[in-house]
Amino acid sequence: MGHIAINLPDNSDEKFLDLLRDNIKRMAEAKNTERLGLFYEKKGIIDAISTIRVTLSTKNKLRKYLKQTETYDELIQRLIDSYESLKEENNYLKQIEKENQQLIKHIESGYKREKKSLMIHPDFKIEYSYNESKVKSYENFSFGLEIDNYIRQGTPIPEREGVKTIQTINILKSIREINITSDIKEIIRKKEIMLESEEDFIKTKYLIYFRILYSVINKKLDNQLNDVSLFNVDFWKELYEIKGLPLSSLEEDINQKLKHFDLELNQLKNDIERKKWNIQLKE
């Protein structure tokens, strides 16, 4: 920019001088901007080198993140890009979390723990509970059936007493159906032996569970149902397919229970064999 000479009259006031200085400054800045625009005409003035004041501590921290041949400008741009990417990922995760919460609320709204009772005899009933849901097909669903109480004449009794009571009721029911010409005493003797059988106790305990679960699935009891079928996994697989129930329930409510049943029977057999062995040793 050429030299500009201005002669001011002696009687010029301060306001005029301030106005003149502002105009000179504006003209100089406009000229410099024009020159910078010509210098950076290929990339534009936005790529002009600027000076940012940072502390030595900040500069040293930045240096640790520099890649080979990378400039500070490139590093800062990379950090900005990473931040924008993380921000997008964070927004995406928040959206996923929101959708998951909505799904959980939907499932929980149709899910509850149902409590019911089954009358076996006017003086005896079983109280039980299970998971009830409007959406039984969703993953990880299981009925989680539990026998809560055995109630005899209005009073809760221990599990063993409850199972024994059911065994006795079943014996009484079966005796009514015995032909009058049969050897009643022999039949009763065999039935009494069953009451002393630990194996029959275990079977009855699991039969109670499977019969109630079957009634929960079908919404009704089936007194004609074969006991053997209830211990057959193929029987349950077919039922689950018909009802459209998830494999998670089949695994937890059926397969795991059948495994526990087999474990208890095997443990009982081992205990019996051990007792026999000890008796033989003593003899």
pLDDT tops 60 at residue 226: yes
pLDDT tops 70 at residue 13: no
Q: What is the mean pLDDT of residues 127-133?
A: 90
Instruction: Evaluate if pTM is beyond 0.75.
Output: no
Q: What is the mean pLDDT of residues 78-93?
A: 85
In whole angstroms, what is the distance from residue 71 CA to residue 197 CA? 86
Place of tokens 């149709």: 110
State which amino acid sits at residue 263.
L
The residue among 58 and 10 whose pLDDT is bigger is 58
In whole angstroms, what is the distance from residue 170 CA to residue 281 CA? 39
Tell me the per-residue pLDDT of 60-74, one tens digit each, with 9 for 90 and over.
888 888 888 888 888
Report domain extents, the chain: 60-107, 112-282
The residue among 249 and 40 whose pLDDT is bigger is 249
pLDDT of residue 197: 82
Share of the chain above pLDDT 90, in %: 30
Distances from the Cα of 74 to the Cα of 56, 63, 253, 271, angstroms: 19, 12, 60, 76
Question: Are residues 124 and 151 in contact, defined by beta-carbon separation less than 8 angstroms?
Answer: yes
Name the pLDDT band for 143 (thresholds 50, 70, 90): very high
pLDDT of residue 91: 85
Give the sheet arrangement for strand 155-157, strand by strand: 111-121, 124-133, 146-152, 155-157
In whole angstroms, what is the distance from residue 194 CA to residue 172 CA? 13
In whole angstroms, what is the distance from residue 269 CA to residue 33 CA? 99
